[in-house]
């Protein structure tokens, strides 16, 4: 019996927050697997174009689309632009998000709302914009990028942790009604990953985090992108509604 391989030739992928870090790595891995890739970004057009150039260097079609996923009208335009240029969206990676490292005393209503709008409601907007088309075509794969902050107390990033916990619940709750239409939705919960988020972390704190990681290192964006690619591919054909933790063992699900 033949074993499934990762081949997205003829498929169209949308990666939100695709210009840098984990998003860029996902775009590159999808391109290597043959998908046409739409790179969504909110503000850094230069970085988005660099990602698109990397996608094209892998031999795939690329499109950059500016949109704030927290705004429903902008998401509608984003999806329409992608479909007009590349075709119907088969693969979605919800990666766009923001992060603030602040105490409870500094967690204002404005910060709370802005974080949930970007990280959680944004993912909802994009899923709702593509799911009906996926169901009609009988094919769709969605991966939400959550965080281990969803799985353990995070008193210095309360709004972020809640938004990422919501991503896990969103994944679970949407998976069941979509499964009958061959639309699978899963999540990845990265741990300490070498991105801009940790650039301002004090070295003493960073050393302590690494020491608490059984694998003894900081993860890299390709580690996460490979998990995302697995969940998008037929290698995970019997998996939906699940969250894969990619943390070097620092957080483990039961």
Active-site residue numbers? 160
Positive or negative torsion for Cα 22, 110, 126, 41: negative
- Mention every residue, 6+ apart, whose C-beta is less than 8 A from residue 232: 8, 13, 30, 91, 93, 141, 143
CA–CA separation, 162 and 107 (whole Å): 12
Output 4-8 pairs: Cβ under 8 A, ≥24 positions apart: 4/233, 4/234, 4/235, 4/237, 6/33, 6/229, 6/230, 6/233, 6/234, 6/235, 7/33, 7/34, 8/33, 8/34, 8/35, 8/90, 8/91, 8/232, 8/233
CA–CA separation, 167 and 118 (whole Å): 12
* Residue owning tokens 């902008």: 74
């Amino acid at each position: 019996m033949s074993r499934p391989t990762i081949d997205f030739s003829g498929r169209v992928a949308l990666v939100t927050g695709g210009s840098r870090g984990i998003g860029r790595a996902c775009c590159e891995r999808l391109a290597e697997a043959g998908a046409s890739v739409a790179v969504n970004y909110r503000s850094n057009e230069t970085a988005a174009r660099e990602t698109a150039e990397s996608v094209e260097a892998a031999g795939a079609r690329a499109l950059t689309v500016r949109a704030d996923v927290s705004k429903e009208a902008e998401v509608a335009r984003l999806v329409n632009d992608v479909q007009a240029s590349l075709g119907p969206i088969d693969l979605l990676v919800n990666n766009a998000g923001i992060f603030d490292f602040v105490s409870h005393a500094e967690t204002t209503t404005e910060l709370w709302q802005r974080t949930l709008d970007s990280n959680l409601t944004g993912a909802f907007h994009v899923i709702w914009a593509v799911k009906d088309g996926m169901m009609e075509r009988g094919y769709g794969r969605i991966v939400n990028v959550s965080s281990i902050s969803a799985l353990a107390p995070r008193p210095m990033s309360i709004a972020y942790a809640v938004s990422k916990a919501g991503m896990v619940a969103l994944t679970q709750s949407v998976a069941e009604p979509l499964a009958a239409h061959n639309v699978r939705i899963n999540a990845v919960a990265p741990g300490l990953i070498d991105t801009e988020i940790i650039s301002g972390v004090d070295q003493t704190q960073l050393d302590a985090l690494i020491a608490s990681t059984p694998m003894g290192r900081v993860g890299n964006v390709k580690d996460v992108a490979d998990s995302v690619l697995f969940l998008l591919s037929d290698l995970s054909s019997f998996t939906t509604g699940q969250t894969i933790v990619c943390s070097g063992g620092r957080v483990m699900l039961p």
